[in-house]
Structure 1
Amino acid sequence: MAVDKHCKNLHRAPSPEQCMDHYGCIYENNHLITLLVNPVDGSITDANRAACEFYGYPIRIFRKLHITDLQADPYAGLEDFIVQGMPGDEHGANRVFMDRHLLAGGQVIDVEIHTGMMSMLGRSSIYMVVHDISERVRSEQRLRESEERYRDLVELCPEAIMVYSGGTILFANKQTEKMFGKKKQELIGQRIESFFSEQYIRSAKYNKLMTWGSIAKERFRFEQRFIRHDNRIFDVEISGVPIIYEEEKALQLVLRDITESKKEVERAVKLQDHRHAVVFPLEEKAELEKLYIPARTLSGDFFIFHKIDEERVVGMIGDVTGKGITAALNISALRVLFADCMEVTDDPLQVMKELNQKAILHLGEDYIAGCCFCLDFGTGLLKAAGAGINEFIYVPKDREGQCITVKGAPLGMFGDSEFEEKSISFQSGDRFCFYSDGMDLLFDSQELSGSYEYLTDRIAGASLQDDCTWLSLSIK
C-alpha cells in the first residue's frame, strides 16, 4: 500500500485531515472490494464504493451490519471469522481464505478473502479485500464432475484404457488388469515397459509413444506385439488421442487385445492364398500366369475358374467392397453364389444377371465389381461380360493388344442393371489379360498387355492404392 509523505506512518499521529485525504485516495476510489471490520465485535465500520456495488448495500446500511451478516453459513460466528481472518503473528501478516457470502438480494457468492490489520486514527481494524471467485468455483466443480463422469464411463468400457504422460501411467481402468496381469493401483506411476518386454524390435511409432508423453498433437493408432511378465504373448492395437488430464497435457490410450483376431486373419490369409494357388483347369489348352498382390493383409480381389467340360472353362475376376475379414467373407459368399450359377448357365451374360440378383438378396450394400468370361476351345470363341470391371485386353499373336470394353454396373448395385457381352474368336498364340482396378491405377492398357516379368518388376517398387490382380491366359 503506497503512503504519501504526509502519512508515512499512521502511528506518528498525523492530523485527521491528512489521514482522511489519504484514506479517500487509496480506499474509497479503489476498484477492489474492500471492507473494514472491527475485530472486537465484528461490526463493519466502513465499505468502499466497490463493496457497496458488489453486495448491493448502501453505505449507511453497511455500517449497521456485522461480518456475520454477510456469511452464508447460518452457523458461522465472529469466532470463525477471527480464526480465519485475524493475522496470526506479531508482524500482522496477511491471511487468505475462502468463504461464501450473501448479497443483498439473497444470492450466494463464493469469495476469496485477503485480510490484514491497519490502524486509522488510533483504532485498529481488520481490512478485507474480497474477490468474487464464483465462476472459478463453478468451473472447478464442472471439471470435477466431468472427470467423475469420465472415470465412470471409462470403468464401464470393455477396452483397457489408461492416461499416460511424462513416461508414466496416470490412470488405468479396471479392464487394464486383465491385459497387464496387475491390479490397477499397481500400474499408476509406472511405465508400460515395466510390465511387458517386446518380442521384436520396437516399432518407430512405439518409440515415439514412449517419448511423446504429453506432446502429441493428433490422434494415432498402431499395432505392437508384447510379451507380458508371465511370458504370455499379446498382439495389441494402441489408439491414442491428446487430452487434458488434471490440468496437464496427456495421452488417452486405448489398448485392444487383437491376438485372437490376428490369428483369424492369418488363417483367412492362408485360406485365401490357397485358393489363389489354383492352376487353369485345362492346362493343355492354355497357360495361366497370374499376379496377386494384396494392398493389405487380406485382399478384396478374387478369381475363379470352373471347368464345364474338356473344351470349356468359365472364369471370373472380381473385387468386393471393403477390406479385411469382411472382404474375405464376401468372397467366400460369392464363390458359393457363383457355383450355384454354374448349375444353371455357363453364359457370362446370364451369369452376371443371376449373380446380380443373388448379390442384392444376400450381400446387401456390399457391391462386387467383376468380369466373367467363358473360353470355348472347341469353337475357338471367348465370351465376356462386365460388371464394374469393364475392360480386358486381347493380344492377337504377333500383334499389339486391343482394349475390349464390356459395360455394366457392379453386381448388387441396381436390380435392373444391364450387362454387355462381347465375343472374340481366338487361335493358338493369342493371349487374354484380365485385371482388377488396382492394376488399372498403376499401368496403362499397353503395359497391362506386357509380360509377367515386366509387370512384376514394375509393381515391386510401387505404392499400392488397391489390391492388384492380373491374369494372363496364353492360348496353346
Structure 2
Amino acid sequence: MYKDKQESEMLDKSIKFDINNYKDIWDKINELSFLIEVDELFVPKCFIDVNSKVCSCLEYSKENFIDVIPSDVFIFDKKGTVLELYRNLIYKRCDKVEMILKSKYGKYVYVEANIFLFIQNKKKHILIIAIDVTKNKKIEKNIVGIIKGIPDVIKVYNPDYTIAFFNEAGYNFYNKTPKEVNGKMCYEVLSREEKCIDCSFEEVMETKQMITIEKYIPELNKFMDVCYNPVLDDDGEILYIVERLRDVTEKRILHKMLKENEDRYKQVINSMPDAVVIIVDNIIVLGNIEACNLLDLSYEKLRGINVYKLFQEKYIKSLHKRFRNIILNEKVKDISEYEFILSNKKVAILQISHSYISYKGKPSIIGVLRDITDIRKELNKAAEFQRKTLQLDFPARKFINIETVYIPSNTVSGDFYRIYEINEELIIGIIVDVRGKGISAALNISAFDVLFLQEIALTHEPMNIVKNLNKKLVNYYDENYIAVCCFSMNFNKNELKVVGAGVNQFIFQKKDGKVEEKIAEGIFLGMFENSEYCEQIISFEHGDKIIFFTDGLDFILDEDKIIQKYMEQISIHEFKNYIDEFLNDTILEVGILQDDCTMIAMEIK
C-alpha cells in the first residue's frame, strides 16, 4: 500500500497524539486550526474538527463546516500536488507552507500554515495551524505590481530588517537571484558582517516617516540616492520598509565637472560681440553682458526668467512651436525677427538666431540676438519703394480678369511680375524669382525689369525674349541665376504662348473642366549661354483660367490634389482670397514664410 518498507516504518514512528487533550486549548488560540482525516493514499477524506476562529474567518457555522469537502476550502499556493505535500510529512513530520483558503461565499484568505501528520486510533490525520496574512499578502502583491517595471532599484524589507524581495532591477543591480537574497539581512547582500554606519532603518522604524539620503557604497564604487519609505497597516504599524536606490554616480561626477566649467561657459559667451542667452526648459539659465545691455535687464533679473515673458503675446504661439522643433530636430541657425518693447518703452527689432545645444547634459537652445532696428528701417523703405513699383493696373481688361498675390517671405522680395500691352489684342507678361533675398535681390529685380523692357521693344515672341535675356545674364549676373516664366496672349487668335526658365509649372483649366498642370521646360537664366527652352502653345476661350506662380506656392500642386479640386469650383478672385488667408495663417503660426510667394491668375471673359 505504501511506496516501500521504509515509508511504512517511518509512518509507524509518527507522533502519537491524544485528540481529546488537544481540544482543551483548541478554541483558546488565535490561529486557524483544522483537523483532517486522510485515507491510506493520503487523500483528504473529511474535516474531523475546526476551531471557532476558522468558522468566523470562513463564514461557516461549526455544524455545517464538518460537512464541507477539504478540497473546497484549501488551495495550496505551491508547486506539486496536494497528495505529494501530505506524503512528504512522512519524512518531515511537519512542514511550513503558504495556502489560500476559500470561504463559504468565495472570498479568498491567504495563510501561512504549519501542517503535521499524526496517527489517532490507527487513522492518519493532518493537523493544520495557520495565521491569516491576507492583508500583508495583498499589500505585497500591490507592491510587486507597482515596482515591477520601475527602472530604479527597489528593495522591500520586513520589520525585522530581513529582505522580503527586490524588483527585477534590484536583482540585476546586485547580480543576485531571489533565492540568494530573500530572507537575508540587507548588509549580507554586500558581504558585510554588520549593518552600515549610516543605516537609516532604526530612524524609519522610530519615526515611521520617509527619509531620503545620498550615500556612497564602497563595495560598488557608486553614489546612490536612497529613499526609505515605511508601509503602514490600518493600526499605524510598519508592515514593510521600501527602499528605493537610484545610481547618481554619473550625475555627481557630471555636476562636479559642470561646476568647474561654469566659469568657462560665462567666459565664452561674454567674449562674443553679440547678445547671447542659453535657454533650458524655457528658462534663461545664462546670459552675457551684451544680452543684459540689449534687453535693459540686470543679470539677476535676466537669469531665471521664463523666456516667453520677454516676447509680445502675438509671438508666443509660433515661438513655442519653433522651440519645440529646434529641440526635436536639433536644429541650428533658426533665424527670425521680433519686435521688442524694452523697459524704457523703446521699440526695437531684434533678429534672433536660435540653435540647439546640450547644456549640462540637457537639450537646450542658445539664442544670439542682434538689434537690427536701423537696418530694418532702411529695408522697410526699400520694401515700400518696391511695393510702389509693383504693377496694380493691368492691360486687356476687356478680355481678361486678373488677380495677383504678392507676399514676401521677408521685408524685401526677390519675386516680381509685369504685364505689358503691345497693342489692343496682344499682351506680354513675365513672372520672376531672383535667387537670394533682401536688398541684393531687389536691386537685381530692378535691373532685370529694365532688361525685360528692352527685349519686348525688339521682339514679341516669349521664346526670343527668354533666349536673349539668358545671353545677357550669362555675362552680367555670375551665379545670381534668375527663374522666369514668360508668356504672351493673343486675343485675336485666342492663343497663349508660355516659355519657362526655372519657373516651369503653370496651371490651365478649361471652363467647367479639371485643373491641369502644364510644364514648359527650361533651366534658369544666366547658367549657360546656349541653354535650350521649350514653349507651350495653348488655345483658350471664354471661361478658361491660367495661373502662374513662383516656387513659394508649389503646395498648389501637392499630391493630395485638395487645393486643385477646390480651384475647380471657385472664381480666381475667391482663389486669391484663399491663398492670402492661407499664407497669413502660416505667418501667424510659424512666424515667417519659407519663400517669397507670387501668383498671377487670369480668367478669360
Shorter-chain TM-score range: 0.5 to 0.7
Partner of 1:356: 470
Q: Which residue, out of 526, 532, 539, partners 1:418?
A: 532
SS in structure 1 of the partner of residue 395 of structure 2: coil
Distance 1:187 1:163, change over 3 A: same
Structure with max Cα Rg: 2
8 Å CA contact 2:403–2:573 kept in 1: the answer is no
Following the alignment from structure 2 to structure 1, what is the Cα–Cα distance between the partners of residues 362 and 511? 72
What letter is aligned with 1:452?
Answer: I
SS in structure 1 of the partner of residue 313 of structure 2: coil
What letter is aligned with 2:341?
Answer: I
Deviation at 1:352, TM superposition (A): 0.7
Distance 1:244 1:469, change over 3 A: closer
Q: How does 1:405-444 map to 2 (within 5 A)?
A: 405-426=519-540, 430-443=544-557, 444=561
**1:312 maps onto 2:442 in alignment:** no
Q: Which residue, out of 317, 339, 349, partners 2:453?
A: 339
Partner of 1:70: none
Following the alignment from structure 2 to structure 1, what is the Cα–Cα distance between the partners of residues 555 and 291? 44
Deviation at 1:458, TM superposition (A): 5.3
Deviation at 1:419, TM superposition (A): 1.1
Q: Count how many residue pairs are aligned between Structure 1 and Structure 2.
A: 329
Q: How does 1:201-212 map to 2 (within 5 A)?
A: 201=313, 203-204=315-316
CA deviations over 1:251-293 (Å, ceiling 9, x no partner): 6542211223333444444444444451212323432123345
**1:472 maps onto 2:605 in alignment:** no
CA deviations over 1:304-343 (Å, ceiling 9, x no partner): 1123334432101233334455544443333233223234
Deviation at 1:348, TM superposition (A): 0.7
8 Å CA contact 2:356–2:363 kept in 1: the answer is no
Distance 1:475 1:468, change over 3 A: same
**1:389 maps onto 2:503 in alignment:** yes
What letter is aligned with 1:472?
Answer: A
8 Å CA contact 1:237–1:256 kept in 2: the answer is yes
CA deviations over 1:321-378 (Å, ceiling 9, x no partner): 3445554444333323322323433321111112222333333323332210122335
**1:179 maps onto 2:294 in alignment:** yes
Distance 1:421 1:370, change over 3 A: same
When the two chains are superposed, the root-mean-square deviation of aligned CA atoms in Å is 4.8
Q: How does 1:228-377 map to 2 (within 5 A)?
A: 228-238=342-352, 239=354, 242=357, 244=359, 252-276=366-390, 278-294=392-408, 299-377=413-491
Q: How does 1:112-261 map to 2 (within 5 A)?
A: 157-162=272-277, 172-173=288-289, 175-176=290-291, 179-180=294-295, 187=299, 190-191=302-303, 200-201=312-313, 203-204=315-316, 223-238=337-352, 239=354, 242=357, 244=359, 252-261=366-375
Following the alignment from structure 1 to structure 2, what is the Cα–Cα distance between the partners of residues 163 and 303? 43
Distance 1:251 1:340, change over 3 A: same
SS in structure 2 of the partner of residue 412 of structure 1: coil
What letter is aligned with 2:455?
Answer: C
Following the alignment from structure 1 to structure 2, what is the Cα–Cα distance between the partners of residues 299 and 259? 19
8 Å CA contact 1:163–1:172 kept in 2: the answer is no
8 Å CA contact 1:197–1:229 kept in 2: the answer is no
Distance 1:311 1:235, change over 3 A: same
SS in structure 2 of the partner of residue 308 of structure 1: strand
CA deviations over 1:213-253 (Å, ceiling 9, x no partner): xx9995675544333333322222333554658x9998654
Q: TM-score scaled by structure 2? A: 0.44
Distance 1:228 1:390, change over 3 A: closer
8 Å CA contact 2:342–2:348 kept in 1: the answer is yes
SS in structure 2 of the partner of residue 385 of structure 1: strand
Q: In terms of mean alpha carbon deviation, does 330-339 or 159-168 score higher? A: 159-168
Distance 1:156 1:472, change over 3 A: same
CA deviations over 1:36-56 (Å, ceiling 9, x no partner): xxxxxxxxxxxxxxxxxxxxx
What letter is aligned with 1:160?
Answer: A
CA deviations over 1:122-169 (Å, ceiling 9, x no partner): xxxxxxxxxxxxxx9xx99xx78x967x77765564322356789677
**1:452 maps onto 2:572 in alignment:** yes
Following the alignment from structure 2 to structure 1, what is the Cα–Cα distance between the partners of residues 491 and 319? 59
Distance 1:205 1:364, change over 3 A: farther
Partner of 1:55: none
8 Å CA contact 1:197–1:228 kept in 2: the answer is no
Task: Give the structure, 1 or 2, with the largest relative contact order (CA under 8 Å, sep 6 or more).
Answer: 1
Following the alignment from structure 2 to structure 1, what is the Cα–Cα distance between the partners of residues 428 and 328? 54
Distance 1:390 1:154, change over 3 A: same
Following the alignment from structure 1 to structure 2, what is the Cα–Cα distance between the partners of residues 208 and 474? 41
What letter is aligned with 1:345?
Answer: T
What letter is aligned with 2:491?
Answer: F
8 Å CA contact 2:414–2:441 kept in 1: the answer is yes
Following the alignment from structure 1 to structure 2, what is the Cα–Cα distance between the partners of residues 403 and 205? 36
Following the alignment from structure 2 to structure 1, what is the Cα–Cα distance between the partners of residues 279 and 517? 57
Deviation at 1:420, TM superposition (A): 1.7
CA deviations over 1:191-222 (Å, ceiling 9, x no partner): 4979x99683374389979x99xx99956755
Following the alignment from structure 1 to structure 2, what is the Cα–Cα distance between the partners of residues 155 and 346? 61
Following the alignment from structure 2 to structure 1, what is the Cα–Cα distance between the partners of residues 528 and 280? 52
Gap regions ≥5 residues in structure 2: 1-252, 587-592
Following the alignment from structure 1 to structure 2, what is the Cα–Cα distance between the partners of residues 275 and 424? 31
SS in structure 2 of the partner of residue 287 of structure 1: strand
8 Å CA contact 1:172–1:188 kept in 2: the answer is no
Following the alignment from structure 2 to structure 1, what is the Cα–Cα distance between the partners of residues 534 and 317? 49
8 Å CA contact 1:164–1:252 kept in 2: the answer is yes
8 Å CA contact 1:197–1:226 kept in 2: the answer is no
8 Å CA contact 1:428–1:475 kept in 2: the answer is yes
CA deviations over 1:38-93 (Å, ceiling 9, x no partner): xxxxxxxxxxxxxxxxxxxxxxxxxxxxxxxxxxxxxxxxxxxxxxxxxxxxxxxx
What letter is aligned with 2:466?
Answer: M
8 Å CA contact 2:284–2:305 kept in 1: the answer is no
Q: Percent identity?
A: 32
CA deviations over 1:92-130 (Å, ceiling 9, x no partner): xxxxxxxxxxxxxxxxxxxxxxxxxxxxxxxxxxxxxxx
SS in structure 2 of the partner of residue 346 of structure 1: coil
Distance 1:191 1:395, change over 3 A: closer
Following the alignment from structure 1 to structure 2, what is the Cα–Cα distance between the partners of residues 207 and 317? 33
What letter is aligned with 2:396?
Answer: L
